[in-house]
């Protein structure tokens, strides 16, 4: 499970929620984070760079040129910190401000540039399987289809499309990471995502904007673990009619 750092009421609350979540990798929006707040404090002072891999993201970018510039800024900052995620970037190249869904053309172009530039690109995309495959073929190390629009809390709206993304992306490489990004609202959404066979979830708003972010962070952690165990165990098939738990033969 990846968690974000935005929208919290305070840095202290963010720090506690991330700790409870059990996440090892956290995202930071390079463009949207102020270097220092009104009190002279900064976000990075509340993140243990020795404990977490920091994944810079290009949130707020609306074309490939902006996204590439922000990715390079993130790499420069993390290189100076010596963080393991210095060459990682979560690429977001958005289409408009209403849906915050990705622009597929600009996202593909940015992926190509960043891969050539030596980045390990984890790319936010729609749940279109063909676009997902194109991004993988461009060199993205992970594809991150949206479950629903960012911050909407609607969960995975099109499970069938997500299943096809998984099938196509893992066809030649079963270990290729597919991570649902955006739209998660509650623990049941996380569990459902993992039961579909996704390798992970990335979420922020669902924790940061919950009535009790600390409890929600713990719920998300447990849901992620439960969903993965359920997927590995293999659920029973759905049937139209009942099937008795106790055999009725030789009653």
DSSP track, 127-182: S-HHHHHHHHHHT-SEEEE-SSSTT-----S-HHHHHHHHHHHTSS-TT--BEEES
Cβ proximity of 22 and 207 under 8 Å: no
> What is the maximal distance between C-alpha atoms in the chain?
77
In terms of Cα–Cα distance, which of 199, 192, 225, 167 is closest to 22?
A: 225
Residue among 7, 90, 215, 239 flagged as catalytic: 90
90 tagged catalytic? yes
The CA distance from 119 to 49, in Å, is 19
Question: The dihedral of CA 80, 84, 85, 86: what is its sign?
Answer: positive
Instruction: Show which residues are catalytic.
Output: 90
């Amino acid at each position: 499970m990846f968690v974000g750092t935005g929208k919290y009421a305070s840095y202290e609350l963010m720090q506690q929620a991330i700790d409870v979540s059990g996440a090892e990798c956290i995202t930071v929006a390079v463009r949207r984070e102020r270097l220092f707040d009104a009190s002279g404090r900064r976000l990075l002072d509340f993140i243990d760079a020795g404990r977490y891999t920091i994944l810079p993201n290009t949130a707020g970018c609306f074309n490939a040129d902006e996204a590439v510039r922000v990715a390079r800024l993130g790499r420069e900052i993390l290189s100076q910190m010596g963080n393991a995620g210095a060459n990682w970037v979560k690429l977001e190249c958005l289409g408009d401000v209403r849906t915050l869904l990705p622009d597929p053309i600009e996202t593909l172009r940015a992926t190509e540039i960043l891969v050539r530039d030596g980045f390990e690109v984890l790319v936010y995309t729609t749940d279109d399987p063909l676009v997902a495959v194109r991004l993988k073929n461009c060199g993205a190390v992970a594809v991150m289809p949206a479950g629903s629009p960012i911050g909407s809390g609607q969960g995975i709206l099109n499970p069938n499309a997500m299943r096809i993304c998984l099938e196509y992306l893992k066809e030649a490489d079963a270990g290729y990471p597919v991570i649902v990004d955006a739209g998660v609202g509650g623990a049941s959404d996380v569990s459902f995502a993992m039961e579909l066979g996704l390798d992970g979830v990335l979420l922020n708003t669902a924790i940061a904007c919950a009535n009790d972010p600390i409890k929600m962070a713990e719920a998300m952690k447990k849901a992620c673990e439960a969903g993965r165990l359920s997927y590995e165990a293999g659920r029973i098939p759905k049937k139209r009619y009942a099937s008795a738990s106790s055999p009725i033969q030789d009653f």
